[in-house]
Amino acid sequence: MAAQPNILLVCTDHWPAGLLGEDGHPDILTPTLDELARSGVRFRNAYSECPVCIPARRTLMTGTSPRTHGDRDFAETMPMPELPTMAQTFRDAGYQAYAVGKLHVYPQRDRIGFDDVVLDEEGRTLYGVTDDYETFLGEHGYPGRQFDHGMSNNDYTVRPWHLPEHTHATNWATREMVRTIKRRDPTRPAFWYLSYRHPHPPIVPLETYHAVYRDVELRWPVQGAWCREELPYLLQAVRGRSAQMGARQTLAALQGFYALCTHIDHQLRVVVGSLREEGLLDDTAVCFTSDHGDMLGRHGMWAKRLFYEGAANVPMILVGAQGDERVGHHRVDDRLIGWQDVMPTLLDLAGIPVPASVEGLSMVGDAHREWLYGEVGEGDHATRMIRSGQWKLIYYPAGNVRQLFDLESDPMEIHDLSGSEAHRPVLDHLSGVLASQLYGGDEAWVRDGKLEGRPARTFRPGPNRGLSSQRGHHWPPPPKTDMPQIQWHNEE
């Protein structure tokens, strides 16, 4: 093992932890990730502290919680905080640091400490940037055509990719990362960040991967017993936004989503194979993860911004450099970890001191946390979480609704135990822990030491005239605009 190994961090978008063959999923084909998991350690209890793209990525790149980095919602135009980033810390220690794919920061060309970023921002030209993927399409005769498939970035309609295979964003990101690896400075170790945009919608898999799942009988999304009861306001909104997802639409979405995942899995073989052929594989540590998951129809819900396992529990696979016994192989680790732990872990593997600002813990160290706090959204669209041991408390302030799940006996979160007298001590204890973590106006949800929340509301759907932020034709590039944030819940 080299004194300072190379580090390859691979991040996807919307990939649930359970969507791996190695985790026992009966339908998904992930042979590459399964083999990597057996070659290292898989962390089963890894969570996104704020399961939505921008806040999660701020946590990843700073090793801090939303309380510290300043975003627990989706602040598209908030610059990165004045904190040491993972990339800059690696560079300060003598590493070269390069990123390929989705960065999701503002301004979009902010390199946040990387030597260079080859950027794919999913067509966000509204902020005045034509990213490198759009430029690639133009140079190959397809200017502005990435969204000609007509699928939205935030819904679950499906069709195969409409351009040649080599132009798919997954292939492009793989090719650019391999090129970056081949162009490395051989005198210094490297930190590489490969950030795939998928399986985040639009669901536009290559036809060859779509066909893999077309005639397969897929396991149907589970429905919690608590779903038959009156739901809190936020869940009414989430379910209302996907009310059109009947059986046919659900099956099509799952087939397309799984196809996007398997495509990424197979493309990772090209990256690993390139590392091997460049003579770098033994001296490279690999981490695979995702910014959050996707409900994929569980409990009648889709997408993210929730703390059920489908949305908040993320894959975390760590493969050490050859001979690194701190990581080992054929291991499954049940410790409770968050995305804030990725930065200190990778720095630890490289022997680099962790900045004092980092709040996370190294996953290869001896430190373990007792509980993890999660938060997303503001006001009536807020939800909060405490995960501790086998228990998970989910809190909705609108209506003052608590849910308690025993993930050891009920990993699919079918039975809400919050009304069980036998579980009252656990509920009260976790509620107290959650109340102690509230800040930024959330303190108003507590009175006399107990959660009181906000008045209940009933969700009433409004129009979705933007078709969930549908993109258009990008040639010539659209003008820069001051578009409002996505109205996730399409409410009046």
pLDDT greater than 50 at residue 432: yes
15 lies in some domain: yes
Greatest alpha-carbon span in the chain: 66
pLDDT greater than 60 at residue 331: yes
291 lies in some domain: yes
Q: Taking Cα atoms as reference points, which of 234, 223, 236 lies closest to residue 295?
A: 223
pLDDT greater than 70 at residue 492: no
Residue-level pLDDT at 243: 87
For residues 342-364, one letter each, b for 16 or more C-beta atoms within 10 angstroms of the residue's C-beta and e for the rest, the string is bbbbbbbbbebebbeebbbbbbb
Q: Tell me the backbone φ, ψ of residue 198, rounded to 5 degrees.
A: -95, 165
Q: What is the pLDDT of residues 185-206, one digit of tens each?
A: 999 999 999 999 999 999 999 9
Q: What is the pLDDT of residues 349-386, one digit of tens each?
A: 999 999 999 999 999 999 999 999 999 999 999 999 99
411 lies in some domain: no
First to last CA, the chain: 59
Q: What is the pLDDT of residues 51-73, one digit of tens each?
A: 999 999 999 999 999 999 999 99
397 lies in some domain: no
160 lies in some domain: yes
pLDDT greater than 60 at residue 488: no
Identify the domain containing residue 295 by its residue range.
Answer: 6-370
pTM of the model: 0.97
- Cα dist from 438 to 51, 185, 404, 428, 435, whole Å: 17, 46, 18, 16, 6
Residue-level pLDDT at 23: 97
Q: CA-to-CA distance for 334 and 45, rounded, in angstroms?
A: 6
393 lies in some domain: no
Residue-level pLDDT at 481: 75
Q: Which CATH number fits the domain that encloses residue 283?
A: 3.40.720.10
What lies within 8 Å, CB to CB, of 155 at 6+ separation is 201, 467, 468
392 lies in some domain: no
pLDDT greater than 70 at residue 267: yes
Q: CA-to-CA distance for 263 and 253, rounded, in angstroms?
A: 15
Residue-level pLDDT at 491: 57
Q: What is the pLDDT of residues 108-144, one digit of tens each?
A: 999 999 999 999 999 998 888 999 999 999 999 999 9
Q: CA-to-CA distance for 41 and 124, rounded, in angstroms?
A: 36
488 lies in some domain: no
Q: CA-to-CA distance for 52 and 304, rounded, in angstroms?
A: 6
Q: CA-to-CA distance for 197 and 124, rounded, in angstroms?
A: 13
Q: CA-to-CA distance for 429 and 389, rounded, in angstroms?
A: 13
Tokens of 273: 């194979």
Tokens of 252: 């099509």
Number of domains the chain contains: 1
Length of the chain, please? 492
Tokens of 460: 């009433």
Angle between helices 247-277 and 207-214 (to 10 degrees): 130
Q: With pLDDT > 90 as the criterion, what percentage of the chain qualifies?
A: 92
